[in-house]
Copies of this chain bind each other. A is one copy, B any other.
């Protein structure tokens, strides 16, 4: 950030009065431009013993598999965002059952919220950001081709809970992926 979005003057980093962190502050109109973490919301769509994954048609991780998820938008709820992303990326209609995982990714200032959801029918199809959408049973999951560590952790937790016969809400932190 170099310029003020309100008045176009230069911004400088300083600690505002009563604050304890460096912020971008306008040198003319004094507007403080806060920057905050973003939420990524998505679904883990279930159909019988299978789950639905999308093959990414965009970078990063083009060609890798993921659950439908994306940045939450203003004026929506976490659930609405998760449903919207599931529709946009997988053309899939689902009914959300529970919040399943919350993962903190502090190194990129993101929080992932993934919901368990029942797929309502099999009329899904790849959206613009997907090359392919299909159902996978546990032993078909392409573990080496999962796009993001948060998604891999959510899937592993899902199958672990399923084996236990009891789904819980899980919260955790994810560190930078080292491969």
Contacts and interface: CB of A to CB of B under 8 A. Distances in A.
A111 interface: yes
A74 interface: yes
A60 interface: no
Given A39-B36, A71-B36, A169-B99, A111 B78 contact: yes
B5 A2 contact: yes
Interface of A: 1-8, 11, 18, 20-21, 33-39, 71-80, 88, 99, 102, 104, 106-107, 109, 111, 128, 169, 171, 173
Contact residues of A: prevailing secondary structure:
loop
Contacts of A99: 102, 169, 171
26 contacts: A1-B5, A2-B5, A2-B7, A2-B8, A3-B4, A3-B5, A3-B7, A18-B128, A20-B88, A34-B71, A35-B74, A36-B38, A36-B72, A37-B39, A37-B72, A37-B76, A39-B111, A72-B111, A74-B109, A75-B106, A77-B104, A77-B173, A78-B171, A79-B104, A79-B171, A99-B102
